[in-house]
Amino acid sequence: MHIAVQDAPFDFGMEAEEFARARAVSGAIVTFTGIVRDVDGGLRAMEIEHYPGMTEAALTEIADQAVTRWSLEDALVIHRHGRLAVGEMIMMVATAARHRKDAFEAAEFLMDYLKSRAPFWKREITQDGAEWVAARDEDEDALTRW
Amino acid sequence: MMDVLYFAWVRERIGIPREAVETQAVTVMDLVDELRAREDRYAAAFADITALRVAVDQQLTGFDAPLSGAREVAFFPPMTGG
């Protein structure tokens, strides 16, 4: 299992390739990447704050749950913090399983949980100032399906 | 002594990221009440605890959680990762 919380950019292609190559016997690899999007055309940057120590522990716990529940061969979570520009990759998850259904479901589970159970806070910087992104009810509701 | 940490707008409203607090609080809620009584900026940050989340020793918990033996308590808004 690979968990990384970092301010530096990551190389998605290299990470995905390395993950897939090392688990080639798994049969199914799913990856997901989140990218800073500009919703209203005015976003200058996204700032991500986190809780050092708890973040790594929370991500490890969430990934452990996914590995156990979907009998994953392996899981990877990389999440950035600090200041990110529009178009930059915020985070990625990868799951390796024997069958695609498990790999897809586990990746969705990881995403749903790290959205509202890992201690990250996003702030959008626009020309009008900075605003903390509010948590959405849908994100909390998404957890109930698991 | 207990380390109390604040993140995101809670940190901004209170004005500091962390502080050491001398407290006899039995639960998280007792600690919140002690902090609220300190100054307006604390009262403002803790005005609506339904808008807040809390972690005790880096584990998410509820405001009724006991604080016995706790070293670190953190207050923050609902998380927005991913």
Nearest-angstrom CA–CA distance, B8 and A120: 9
Contact B2, B66 (CB under 8 A): no
Domain ranges within chain B, ordered by starting residue: 2-76
Q: What's the token pair of residue A133?
A: 């992104």
| Angstrom distances, CA of residue A30 to CA of A18, A89, A110 | 13, 17, 12
Fold exhibited by the domain A2-145: Aldehyde Oxidoreductase; domain 3 (3.90.1170)
Asked if A51 and B55 come within 8 Å (Cβ–Cβ), the reply is: yes
Q: Quote ipTM for the complex.
A: 0.95
Smallest Cα distance from A31 to chain B, Å: 13
In this prediction, what percent of chain A has a pLDDT beyond 90?
82
Q: What's the token pair of residue A35?
A: 């990218």
Domain ranges within chain A, ordered by starting residue: 2-145
Q: What is the pLDDT of residues B6-55, one digit of tens each?
A: 999 999 999 999 999 999 999 999 999 999 999 999 999 999 999 999 99
Nearest-angstrom CA–CA distance, B76 and B14: 11
Asked if B81 and A116 come within 8 Å (Cβ–Cβ), the reply is: yes
Q: Residue A56 above 80 pLDDT?
A: yes
Task: Report the half-sphere exposure of A19 (CA within 13 A, side-chain side).
Answer: 27
Asked if B79 and A54 come within 8 Å (Cβ–Cβ), the reply is: no
Q: What's the token pair of residue A11?
A: 């190389």
Q: Residue A40 above 80 pLDDT?
A: no
Q: Residue A127 above 90 pLDDT?
A: no
Mean pLDDT of A51-77: 97
Nearest-angstrom CA–CA distance, A102 and A81: 29
CATH of region B2-76, choose from 3.40.50.1820, 3.20.20.70, 3.10.20.30, 3.40.50.620? 3.10.20.30
Least CB–CB distance from B77: residue in A91, A117, A121: A121
